[in-house]
Amino acid sequence: MSEYICLNSDEMEQKIGLILELWHNFLQRTVSAYVSEYNEMGQCCENLENCDAKEIYYVNVVTLREIFERTHQREDYFERYHNKLQMSNFKEIGLIAFWISKLKPFHLKEEYFDDFFDSKINEEFALYFIFNAIARYAEEQGYGYSLKHINSELYNELLYTMQYRDLSKEAFGCIVELISIATRKM
């Protein structure tokens, strides 16, 4: 049997660049919602309203590398021990989301956010990643995509499950596939 070959550095950098771009988009939307919510409660968020979004967080890039390497290792495992079976897109999306949720590479600076908000930011981003990846996959496959079946109750249940329940890597892949089915427009 051949030896395991690590993910090459160009691929790694490309994957990290894409996830950081998605993170930045997510954070811009999230900060706007956070500021609006605080303003509705009559509280002020001046430090967030007037700052550059890149100043309010830090990313553990070593952890991001670990996430993509572990995903690559799982792909290798499927090929080696399951008769050259290719890991499905849903399993790959689920695996990346699983590791984001478990390894927590994204952190918000405490001078801008409370602990509760920071404690769920990786899970929130993992869901955002899942929804975006499924939308891209739907577009590539030529079918429509709509989040109308993912109401706030289901979203909050998914978020809670990711934060507090013990889900396997395999379960994440199944969840991603179910979300893909639920959001597909015919």
129 with 98: CB under 8 angstroms? Answer: no
23 with 125: CB under 8 angstroms? Answer: yes
168: three-class secondary structure by DSSP: coil
Say which residue, 161 or 149, is predicted with more confidence. Answer: 161
Which run of H or E residues covers position 80? Answer: helix 61-81
Residue 11 has pLDDT above 60, yes or no: yes
> Beta-carbon neighbour count of residue 73 at 10 Å?
13
Residue 157 has pLDDT above 90, yes or no: yes
27: three-class secondary structure by DSSP: helix
pLDDT band at residue 56, thresholds of 50, 70 and 90?
Answer: confident
Residue 39 has pLDDT above 80, yes or no: no
Say which residue, 151 or 53, is predicted with more confidence. Answer: 151
Residue 115 has pLDDT above 80, yes or no: no
Q: What is the DSSP letter of 88?
A: P
pLDDT per residue over 73-88, tens digit each? 888 877 777 666 677 8
Which run of H or E residues covers position 57? Answer: strand 57-59
Residue 1 has pLDDT above 60, yes or no: no
pLDDT per residue over 118-154, tens digit each? 678 999 999 999 999 999 999 998 888 888 888 899 9
Q: State the greatest distance between any 2 C-alpha atoms of the chain, in Å, as a whole number.
A: 64
Taken as a whole, the chain contains a residue count of: 186
Q: Tokens 């990846």 — which residue? A: 133
Residue 18: its pLDDT value, please?
96
16 class by beta-carbon count within 10 Å (0-12 exposed, 13-18 middle, 19+ buried): middle
Query: How confident is the prediction for the chain on average, in pLDDT?
Result: 85
Residue 19: its pLDDT value, please?
97
Mean pLDDT to the nearest integer, 96-123: 85
